[in-house]
Amino acid sequence: MAKNSDNFTTSNNNLLTALESIKGLLEQNEVKLSAARQSIKQATPNIDQLFTEREEEVPVLNDIVIPEEIHKPGEQGIDPLVLSAFIDEMQQKLEKRIRETLMQSVVRAESDLKKQISAYLNQLRKMLNDDK
């Protein structure tokens, strides 16, 4: 029985040591957890403070809205001389682009025609040489 008693005492001592070790770990974690909570609390701004700061940043509608310019009926709001100069410049650019495109097309067509004519004439020459 003494042996059972010694085993029981040893088992209880081991259990007590394990429980004390667990308690020590929990206390260490609690200290770390409270330090983390404190750090988060210091890093995070106060919610009420955030709302008051945002309220101050919100502009007033009258400061944002720009009054619409009122035009008389038939007025365009663009200087006719500027618009006319723009249209003239656009016309010149379009005419130049059309001329360039037309010239490129003519050059290509001329080249294709020369190739076709040369091929037909070569066929005719070949036929004449074969007949001799």
User: Could you identify the residue written with the tokens 């040369």?
Assistant: 118
More confident residue, 124 or 68: 124
Does 105 or 58 have the greater pLDDT score?
A: 105
Distance of CA 91 to the CA centre of its chain: 37
- 96-130 tens-digit pLDDT: 999 899 998 888 899 889 999 999 899 888 888 88
In this model, does residue 91 exceed pLDDT 90? yes
Instruction: Give residue 129's pLDDT.
Output: 86
Q: Residues near 76 by Cβ (< 8 Å), separated by ≥ 6?
A: 83
Contact 77, 71 (CB under 8 A): yes
Q: Domain extents for the chain?
A: 1-61, 78-132
pLDDT, the chain, mean:
75
Q: How far is CA 66 from the centre of its chain?
A: 30
- For the segment 17-22, the average pLDDT, to the nearest whole number, is 79
Full DSSP string of 3-15? HHHHHHHHHHHHH
Cβ(94)–Cβ(87) below 8 Å: no
